[in-house]
Amino acid sequence: MTGIDALERTFSSSPIPTIILQVKTSVFHIMVANAAYRSVKNIGTTEKIVGEDFLKTYKHVPEIDDYARALHSVLNTKSSCMIRSSAGDISTYPILNEHEEVAFLVQQLSVPPEPMSSRLGNFLSSRPDLDLFDFSPVPMWVYDIYTLRILAANKAALADYGYTLSEFLNATVRILWPADDLPRMEEMVAAKVEKFSPNEATVRHAKRSGEIISVNIHSRRLPSWGKHARIVTAIDVSEKLKNEQAIKMHRDRLESLLKTTNGIVWEADSANHHFRYVSEYAEKVLGYAPSQWLAEPGFLENHIYPEDLNMVLQARDPNLEIGKTYSAEYRMLNAENNIVWIRDTYTPIIQDEKVWLRGLMVDVSIAKRAMAIDQLDKEILTNSSKEENSIQEVLNNYLRGLENQFQGLFFAMMSIGTGKLSDLASPSIPRTIITSAEDLPYPSELESGNASDAESAWSHFRETASKNGYKSVVHYPVHDKDAEVVAVFFVYHNREAALLSEEANTLERVITLLQLVLERNGYSKTLKESTIMMLQSQELARFGNWSWDRVSDVVKWSDTLYSIYGLSSEYVAPSFESYLNLVHPEDKENSFNIIQDLLINGKDRTFEERIVRPDGEVRQLKTWAKVIYGESGVAEKMFGASLDITESKKVEDELQASKSELQRMLDRYLYVDKATNDAIFDWDIQDDYIEWGESFTRLFGYSQLPLIYTLNKWFELVHPEDLIVMQSALQKSLANRNQHHWWAEYRIRKETGEYIFVEENAYILRDQSGNALKMIGVVRNITERKEAERNLQLSNEKYSNLFHLSPLPLFVYDLESLQILDVNQAAIENYGYSFEEFLSFTLRDIRPPQDIAILDEIIKKHVKAGHVNSSFTRHVKKSGKIILVSTKGNSIAYKGRNARIVVAIDNSERIKAEESLRQSERRFKTMIQEGSDLIVILDQTGKISYISPNIFRLFNLNPRDMMLTSPFDYIHKHDHAAIKSHLLNIRKDETLKVSPFRVRLKGGEIRWLETIITNKSHDPAIAGIIANSRDVTARMKVMLKNKELLERYNAVAKATSDTIWDSNIVTGKIIWNYSLAKIFGYDITQTSVGWWREHVHPEDVDRVNRLIESRLASGETRWMSEYRFRCADGTYKTVLDRGFIIFSDEGKPLRMIGCMQDVTQRVAYVHAIENHNRQLREIAWMQSHLVRAPLARILGITDILAEGGNSEDQIDELLSYLSVSAAELDDIIKGIIGKSQNLQ
């Protein structure tokens, strides 16, 4: 339905003459003219008026220039305007579209009411109670619940339903119900009506014309018309139900949109910051449900980070410019007491005569933390490069900055020297923990023979940390460029939860930075408190002391005495003369004489005096003074104290005045008793003695009264039916310490035995504690009045019930004085006032004080005898609650007075619902226009049917230019397929998170959007798919960069011949890369840890297991080992395996990632070299040992032969020896040659 259609439906049946205008090129075109307008302007139903130029159509009207000015004023100011004309008051209102532009102008004409016929005036002079029924402005009728025959119907029922009185009285209530609804009527009659219960329901009725209307009916018994009679009122609520349906549709649409955005929409009182609305997203941001925001007084102040509180309160000054947008960034504490950064954008508005703040809160914690840590990184890099800065100072500042960003985490750096830990930086960690950590053996020492001692030392350290409130300690090694561990970075937790992913990622970056800082690297004052208890005590008691040194003429006052005199010690130096100047003129002489007497006689004095403060205020003081004499007997010093007794003196004066007034009252009592026929009494409650005046005998006839007349003696005269009620009421009145007036009506037995009605009025005298002391009053004979009232009640009861039993609040008031003359039971129940209280009121008493001028204006201009008048106004209940009511009044003659009967229908809930809709719309606009999220609705054809206005602020795009365009005009072509798939496959009410995609802006700029889509195509309020998008360009750039790094890593992994594995220690599963198949022949990617153990050589598996288990137990993160691993073909390859262990916050091992390198060839090569060397050593040994023996023999024999002188036999023998040694040497040389050939 278009905007003009909705407006036409809203105003078509309105009784107020209305036209709707649309502005096109400075011409005001008439779009709608309702029936009431055509009737007032005498325009026929077929006469063309829609589409005409309004100013040209009425150019003949004398006030046409005023019309034109009013229309242009509303168009420019976007606010309503009213002008007076010969035709009546003309009001013009703007209707704004979603862009806050004027779409239509609504003009309404207030026509003076026409007088009713003179026949009505004649009728008003008869039967006032029947008039209350007949001229009620609400349709009413009386019917019999068994025959359903209509017994009576008022004029409003005849007018609204179109039947004559004769037709009503000859019919049953069935004529008012559509045929299809008759079964429901019979069920209602059987369920409640026949059980004589009050009944209220919203049903359908049929007029005589056949028109079906929705009415709210109220019915109750009407005994004065017969045992089976019921009175019914019917209020037409057709338009109300249509409006409620429209409100529900709008609310559903807003709620659907609100649920898809990431921001807290809020409204709060600008004066006390109390929230009156908070959207559901609040619980996701801070962990507190919206109901907690609304219910907790001072929620904002209680949950803002203390250091930011003053800034936030100043930024939310109640005197901010109305309509201007403000923003602030501050920290809040969530339900887990962690800091959340909030960007708050808000606007002051005026509503219900109060200033409210309406805004949108967005969680910017991650961005703020990233910026802060970037700044910290820059500072540590800068400061670490300055020679004057020690490394301890630089690290302490850096770690302190990190602790400010990560609440609940505390950090320390410890350096490693000779395998032990020593403190390097620990800004917040208690010294006891640092002491227990110093000289700890680094975990690598656990491999040594002292493993048990090392483990014990670390256990003691963790126990010390736990005693100091840290629930977990995690440590990370910091390496130098040679991969040696030079320091350990400790993270202490004081919370149960593990590190968040953001925290873990940041800490990896921190450790890298600390490594760089260490490579480049070649306390607070105590506050004193003091209090002066004596000064505080004096201030509380208003008790000040003074001294006067008469030798030096120096006067000293305490600070409290300065305060009592209204002076400042900075500007006034006290003296005896300045003191006398402050004493009241009437007391000055007496105070002077007392002090002089004290100086002469030396006797301590206590006296009272009055002083006059500089501002003119008179205070009463009680003063104590004492004199100290010197050795010569001369008064050297006077000192004393003064107590401010002003308040107690006032109480004394008031008590004396009360006593005087009481005496005057007793004097009056004696004279009144003689002059009246009413019985005057004085009851001493404490002694239970009643003293009667002379009129007691005149009234009741008892000439002889007992000497002591007690309360029980009086009770003996009270009628038994009245006694219990009267006694109970009296006891309650006496027990109520704040009640001073007593009133009662009951029956008393005269001396003749006759009972008469009396009215008792009395005043209760009480002491300061509220205890009742006396009761003085009169007893008056009201028998004649009670008889008259009874007769009047009987005569009026039948028709009075038509008024008093109506289920709608009804009033009768005097047209001249506005005094309320009568109200029905429904008014008493709805407003909370008693019948008597109502009758003491005028109409002004049930109006808020600020509305009385409006009431007087309505009475003066619109409320006249003989005219029906309707209005919409505010009433005040007894509880103080203000309700919004629609009233309708008619003239009536009531007990000889010119009066009006008014029905008041409470529309507060309806107005509240409408206001709720307006509030929701304003919140929605605030959320959309000020939020960082972009909201788009795609219709069933895939076109943009709505886009939030913040598209201009976010991307510099005009939302009007994008309406009814395709979103794919802006989405990057490479992302079309994925987005289309999501849009085509999303189910009804399903919500999907779409992976970030690219959009192309003006100038070719590319932005990344993260989007959540919800299918609401079946919801008539949405009729499409809601897309909630957020700009994540910065994040995506970082992710793309990380992806590039990851791809490089994967490329390296693929290029290497190493086998990479990832072991889940918790589940016992291992994931392998493709090299497991390439190197070892196993075409699998996932195995168990047991599978791996089975394939390690039996001679190596125990050794490797012991190494890994020792690292898991000690908390050390790295291990390396060489062992043999079985291939798929049964052969073994030698591998070098390196592993990195990942531990939880509690020190529990979770995962192990590693790289297995095939070193078989390298090991074989090493073995070959070792065998070669062994053979070389054997050759060398042969050369140095085996060759030497035959060679030595040969050399010896040649020496003997060379000396000569040997016989032939000797020479033959020597030659044979030489031949043997040569043969032996030849064999040895052949062996060496053989071994040498083997080396080749």
pLDDT at 1104 (0 to 100):
92
Helix orientation angle between 908-930 and 238-258, rounded to the nearest 10 degrees: 30
Domain 398-520 belongs in CATH node 1.10.10.10? no
Query: Which whole number is the average pLDDT over 1126-1151?
Result: 89
Distance CA 464, CA 477 (A): 21
Q: In what order do the strands lie in the sheet with 150-153?
A: 150-153, 140-144, 229-236, 212-221, 199-206
- Long-range interactions of 655-663: CB distance < 8 A, separation 24+: 662/765
CATH class, 1056-1158 region:
alpha beta
Question: In whole angstroms, what is the distance from residue 793 CA to residue 175 CA?
Answer: 35
The average pLDDT across 248-257 equals 64
CATH H superfamily, domain 261-363: PAS domain (3.30.450.20)
Query: Does 638 have pLDDT greater than 70?
Result: yes
Enter the tokens of residue 1202.
Answer: 């060379």
- Please say if the pLDDT value at position 114 is more than 60: no
By the 10 Å C-beta count (0-12 exposed, 13-18 middle, 19+ buried), 1187 is classed as: middle
| Single-letter code of the amino acid located at 96 | L
Region 1087-1094: what's the mean pLDDT?
93
Q: Which CATH class is domain 696-786?
A: alpha beta
Look at domain 813-929 and name its CATH class. Answer: alpha beta
Domain boundaries, the chain: 3-110, 139-243, 261-363, 398-520, 536-644, 696-786, 813-929, 932-1039, 1056-1158, 1165-1239
Q: What angle do CA 773, 776, 777 make, to 5 degrees?
A: 150
The closest alpha carbon to 901, from 208, 23, 186, 124, belongs to 124
Between the alpha carbon of residue 1159 and those of residues 630, 1059, 1078, 1131, 1209, the distances in Å are 111, 12, 15, 14, 68
CATH class of the domain defined by 932-1039: alpha beta
Of the two residues 663 and 180, the one the predictor is more confident about is 180
pLDDT at 1095: 93
Please indicate whether residue 701 or residue 448 has the higher confidence score (pLDDT). 701
C-alpha span between 1135 and 1159 (Å, rounded): 5
| Per-residue model confidence (pLDDT) at position 130 | 56
CB under 8 A, 24+ apart: contacts of 568-573: none
Superfamily of chain region 139-243: PAS domain (3.30.450.20)
The pLDDT score that the predictor gives to residue 205 is 94
Give 556: exposed, middle or buried? Use CB within 10 Å, 0-12, 13-18, 19+: middle
Tens digits of residue pLDDT in 528-586: 333 333 444 444 446 788 888 887 888 888 888 888 888 887 777 788 888 888 899 99
- In the chain, what's the furthest Cα-to-Cα distance? 198
Judged by average pLDDT, the poorest of 475-484, 770-779, 1098-1107 is: 475-484
pLDDT in tens, 925-969: 666 666 667 889 999 888 998 888 888 877 888 888 888 899 998
Q: Is CATH 3.30.450.20 the right assignment for the domain spanning 536-644?
A: yes
Per-residue pLDDT for 122 more than 50? Answer: no
Of residues 354 and 109, more confidently modeled: 354
CATH topology agreement for domains 139-243 and 1165-1239: no
Q: Which CATH architecture has domain 1165-1239?
A: Orthogonal Bundle (1.10)
What is the distance between the alpha carbons of residues 590 and 568, in angstroms, rounded to a whole number?
26
Over residues 52-57, the mean pLDDT reads 86
Task: Indicate the average pLDDT of the chain.
Answer: 80
Give, as one character, the DSSP assignment of residue 933: E
- pTM comes to 0.34
Q: CATH classification of 3-110 is 3.30.450.20, yes or no?
A: yes
- pLDDT at position 847 is 93
**SS (HEC) of 184-205:** HHHHHHHHCHHHCCCEEEEEEE
Q: What is the pLDDT of residue 450?
A: 44
Query: What does the DSSP 8-state code read for residue 320?
Result: S
Tokens of 486: 């030079």
pLDDT digits 0-9 by tens, 1158-1192: 888 877 777 777 777 777 776 666 665 677 677 77
Contact call for residues 555 and 561 (beta carbons, < 8 A) = no
- Tell me the average pLDDT across 1023-1027: 89
Q: How many C-beta atoms surround the C-beta of residue 466 within 10 A? A: 13
At 155-186, the pLDDT tens digits run 889 989 999 988 988 899 999 999 999 998 88
- Burial 1107-1121, CB ≥16 within 10 A → b, else e: bbeebeebbbbebeb
List Cβ<8 Å contacts ≥24 apart for 369-372. Answer: 369/341, 369/405, 369/406, 369/502, 369/506, 372/401, 372/404, 372/405
Q: Which two tokens stand for residue 643?
A: 């107590």
Of the given ranges (108-122, 768-782, 828-842), which has the lowest mean pLDDT?
Answer: 108-122
Model pLDDT, residue 473? 84
